[in-house]
Amino acid sequence: MSNLQKLSLGYFAALMIAASLNYIPGLTDENGLAFGIFELDIYDDALHVASALWALAAGLLSYRAARTFLILFGLAYLGDGIFGFFTGYGFLDLGIFTNPSAGLDFSLLRVLANLPHLGLGGLAVWAGFRSAPA
Instruction: Return the pLDDT at 134.
Output: 52
The distance of Cα 45 from the centroid of its chain, to the nearest Å, equals: 11
Q: Which residues of 74-94 are buried (b: 16+ CB within 10 A; e: fewer)?
A: bebbbbbbebbbebbbbebbe
What per-residue confidence (pLDDT) applies to 58?
Answer: 98
pLDDT at position 132, please? Answer: 66
Confidence (pLDDT) at 65 = 97
**Could you count the other beta carbons within 10 Å of the beta carbon of residue 73?**
22
Model pTM?
Answer: 0.85
How much is the pLDDT for 72?
Answer: 97
Blockwise average pLDDT, block size 10, the chain, 134 residues: 96 94 78 71 87 98 97 95 85 79 81 90 96 67
Q: Treating both helix axes as pointing N-terminal to C-terminal, what angle do 108-130 and 3-20 enclose, rounded to 10 degrees? A: 160
What is the predicted pLDDT for the residue at 61? 97
Predicted pLDDT of residue 17: 92
